Amino acid sequence: MCDTFVATPDITASGKMIFGKNSDREPNEAQCLVRYPARKNSSHTVRITYRDIPQVKETYEILVSKPFHMWGAEMGANSKGVVIGNEAVFTKIRIEGKNKGLTGMDMIRVALERSQNSKDALELIVDLIEQFGQDACGGYLNKKFFYHNSFIIADAKEAYVLETAGRFWAWKKIKGFYSISNGLTLESDYDDLHSDAIDYARSQGWLAKGATFSFRESFSDSFYTTFSKCKVRRGITMREGNSVGEKMSVRRAMEILRLEGQGGPKSKVGGGPGGFPPKDSGFSPANSGMGSVCLHATGFIAPNQTNGSFVAEIDADSERSQFWATGASIPAISIFLPFSIPGKAALEGTIVQPGATPDTSLWWSHETLYRLCLRNYSDAISVFGAELKDVQESLLRKSQSILSKKGKGASLDTLSEDAIVGAVRSYQKWRMQVAELAVKGRLFARPWFDPLYRVSWFLWNKKARITDSVLTGKDLPFEPAYL
């Protein structure tokens, strides 16, 4: 489950395109933040997750956030200034479950590697869907998690929403602010549509004779769409993105992705200055659910958590674009790190990438801190919350200073490398500081004793071989983020 949004230049503070996404996946599914360089390819085919597809002679440099075990990516950008994020959507179109097609993550990486602009990426994804289909498991330990996809695709000038149901699709060009979650949103307001979509919907009895065709109403599956609480989360992001009080900016995009809480007319959505949890907010992940933009896993009702977050501000001069990625879970308590393209920071083969169990990667350095914080969220984050805000503000200021000067490329790349190393060290240090609370007996507040919640986290920790000695640092030493 995820949330993705875009704000076109006419409504942003900088006059540039702004994109954001939270990637919500299984709790132990570590996410890699990795850069793949531009390549000239001699092979005629490339192996993606489940099959081969034709390769192209040259692929562009990309920076992506991806599940550690997958070929494809949840979100990312390329050297041409194209950014893409996807959502799982649930439709009436039956999926065979034979893994003969492409995952949404496959399509994102292929499109980023091959597209010069957002329209090229849109058309390429449509071609991939029509040629190969979407029969591909998108889960980690859950091998029965099959779904279709929707996408937000943008560059410096244009942005599009593309929604699919099997091999059927609809898209429209976006103006203003637009967000998607785990449900179809396009009604009859599409700009283009698969030529057979209306006839197929009518043949299945999903479109009454004489009725106006709606892509959402005709193809959406009601059960899984409702269970995902996509309407609640999209309601929050649309409301926040269209707020008249403040124009969209990189900082504002981060704030939206950091929002905790169910939303709705009778419930609060948490978030203090910068989107960080306010001191003594009273928010507990144990009482959270699928309606939270910054998603906390709680068990059967909310089996996923936000495992990575990404923000982009896209300039017409692609080298002046800035990209921010956490490479970590739970953006409410993680640092958005700055990146540029082209660059070398997080280059494939140079950075410690996470595996299935705790290691010294960026993702697991933060995740072990988060698992410890779960025992008493408010008390734990009060230990490092002020320093976390200071680190984030410092990176925002330094990035803007570099971009305002000539010769910014090398300097911003150096800032990126320093930020990664600094984040790993900070997470490791904060984990040890929070562990001191456990010694004093302050990390076992009542929410942690919620039986179902505690059992769920006991099982997740057991699968990832997370023990108290790992969380307190005895079995997880301090090591640098780079190889």
Active site residue 2: yes
Element (H, E) at 434: helix 408-439
Q: Which alpha helices (DSSP H) does 220-323 contain, by range?
A: 222-227, 230-241, 250-257
Backbone angles phi, psi at 171, to 5 degrees: -145, 160
Show the DSSP H helices in 243-332 as ranges.
250-257
**What span, in angstroms and rounded, lies between the C-alpha atoms of 259 and 239?**
12
Q: Tell me the H-state helices in 38-177.
A: 104-114, 118-132
The catalytic position among 2, 32, 230, 373 is 2
Token digits for 151? 């996408």
Buried b (16+ CB within 10 A) or exposed e, 446-469: ebbebeebbebbeebbeebebeee
Q: Other CB atoms closer than 10 Å to residue 144's CB: what's the count?
A: 7
**Which strands sit side by side in the sheet containing 2-7, from one edge to the other?**
177-180, 2-7, 17-25, 305-314, 322-325, 337-339
Span between the terminal Cα atoms of the chain, in Å: 32
**Which residues carry out catalysis?**
2
